């Protein structure tokens, strides 16, 4: 599957080994970018990201997409769907915008909408979900704008630079997605 999923501002395509550049490594090593990423707990190198990308590309239950800004055609971040739970027909979604000059422009929200459509329309999933640190207001806004609803919070589950934080969960069901899509 090498299709491109196109939106107004960004497009998604599967991440390739050619996307594993020093710039990608610098995103994951930047404390502002990785503040809410689990990758911050270990050293990131070209080898570690190539291993990660290869693993996802060889996986039958996860999809890692490059977020490409449409005007510049620049790779600005990634969004992942998976692992897919085939028994219960759901998957997690996670994402980051590594290119800080692309923050606050609606790219993450559109990428979430696009990957959500992929999950429901192409994979036939029943539900998608995402978790976030409770202080990650930007990510929370993106999920809400993309149609996800708050479902709960695990108190003081995640460790951050501020101490222990709640782990907030958001989700969307296929029927909720279909209603929103039919309104547009």
Q: Is the pTM of this model over 0.75?
A: yes
Contacts of residue 5, Cβ cutoff 8 Å, sequence gap at least 6:
11, 12, 13, 65, 114, 115, 117, 118
What residue spans of 22-124 are helical by DSSP H?
22-29, 46-57, 107-117
User: Which pLDDT does position 156 carry in this prediction?
Assistant: 94
Give yes or no for residue 2 having a pLDDT over 70.
Answer: no
Which pLDDT tens digit goes with each residue over 136-150?
999 999 999 999 999
User: Which pLDDT does position 182 carry in this prediction?
Assistant: 67
Average pLDDT, the chain: 92
Question: Taken in order 100, 101, 103, 108, is the CA torsion positive or negative?
Answer: negative
The torsion angle over the Cα atoms of residues 104, 147, 87 and 133, rounded to 10 degrees, is 50
User: Which pLDDT does position 141 carry in this prediction?
Assistant: 96
* Domain chopping of the chain, boundaries: 5-183
User: Which pLDDT does position 1 carry in this prediction?
Assistant: 55
Give yes or no for residue 168 having a pLDDT over 60.
Answer: yes
CATH 3.20.10.10 corresponds to the domain 5-183: no
């Amino acid at each position: 599957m090498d299709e491109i999923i196109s939106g107004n501002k960004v497009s998604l395509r599967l991440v390739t080994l050619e996307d594993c550049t020093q710039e990608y490594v610098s995103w994951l090593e930047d404390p502002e970018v990785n503040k809410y990423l689990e990758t911050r707990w270990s050293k990131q190198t070209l080898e570690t990201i190539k291993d990660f990308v290869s693993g996802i590309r060889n996986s039958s239950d996860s999809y890692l997409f490059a977020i490409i800004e449409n005007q510049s055609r620049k790779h600005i971040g990634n969004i992942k769907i998976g692992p897919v739970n085939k028994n219960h027909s759901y998957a997690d979604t996670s994402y980051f915008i590594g290119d800080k000059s692309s923050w606050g422009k609606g790219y993450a929200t559109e990428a979430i909408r696009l990957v959500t459509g992929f999950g429901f329309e192409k994979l036939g999933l029943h539900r998608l979900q995402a978790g976030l640190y409770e202080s990650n207001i930007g990510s929370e806004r993106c999920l809400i704008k993309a149609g996800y609803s708050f479902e709960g919070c695990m108190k003081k589950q995640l460790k951050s630079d501020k101490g222990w934080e709640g782990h907030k969960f958001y989700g969307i069901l296929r029927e909720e997605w279909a209603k929103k899509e039919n309104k547009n």
